[in-house]
Amino acid sequence: MKIAFVGDSFCADTGKNTWPNLVTKELDAKLISKGVQGANQYAILNQTKKILKLKPDLIIFTHTDPYRLANRHDRPLGARPCEMHQDEDAVWKAGHNYYEHVMDFGFHELSHMALVNECWRIGCAPKNSIHLFSFSTKELNFREYNWDIWLPNAHNEKSLARISYDYQTPDNDDGWSTLPNHMNYVGNKVVSDIVLEML
């Protein structure tokens, strides 16, 4: 069995005791792909197209928020990174200026819904895909359109961000924050249990 994890940073870490690792081990499967830190939803769609050529038995998605900028450089152009790096080069500066002077939130919300639905449509039928949402309007709100989406075989009860808020306590006595996929290992176990129950 081959499992692909496609999405943003909530599935990027696949090391020991992370939820992708636990799911893969429980199903005695081979992991063939993983998420990308700061991925925008258009990049996730493009990643899905590539993954389908590898013929996975299961694709597990972590869909990101609507407000990250699609770009040909595959940079994590979110509002905060663009602000932090705006003086480094023209790409970061252009991203920052877009957020400051051009962005239309409603357009991004509508585009996001279309992109998430397209990920599902291009061949990820409910029987071989699971959809998790990294964020929801419950955390980030919305300007014009509620961008929470219903999909077959999706977990809508809690976003991964909401789960991660509950599991931020470091895993060791030294207070060192080990937070793979933005949560401690207990939180990673919670997410793996959700996914395995959905199967």
pLDDT tens column, 45-103: 999 999 999 999 999 999 999 999 999 999 999 999 999 999 999 999 999 999 999 99
Contacts of 107 (CB under 8 A, 6+ apart): none
Q: Please identify which residue in the block is written with the tokens 């129950």.
A: 197
Domain boundary assignment for the chain: 2-67+107-198, 73-102
- Give me the residues paired with residue 30 across strands: 2
> What's the rounded Cα separation, in Å, for the pair 40 and 69?
6
Question: Are residues 195 and 131 in contact, defined by beta-carbon separation less than 8 angstroms?
Answer: no
Q: What confidence score (pLDDT) does residue 152 get?
A: 87
- How large is the average pLDDT for residues 142-160? 92
179 vs 101, higher pLDDT: 101
The confidence score (pLDDT) of residue 138 equals 87
Q: Which two tokens stand for residue 39?
A: 């991925």
Tell me how many degrees the CA angle 89-91-96 measures, rounded to the nearest 5.
95
* Selected residue with higher pLDDT from 40 and 140: 40
The pair phi, psi for residue 59, each rounded to 5°, is: -115, 130
Angle between helices 19-26 and 185-198 (to 10 degrees): 40
Calculate mean pLDDT across residues 159-168.
95
Q: Does domain 2-67+107-198 have CATH number 1.10.3720.10?
A: no
Mean pLDDT estimate for the chain:
93
pLDDT score for 141 = 82
The residue ranges of DSSP E strands in the chain, in sequence order, are: 2-7, 30-33, 58-63, 129-133, 154-155
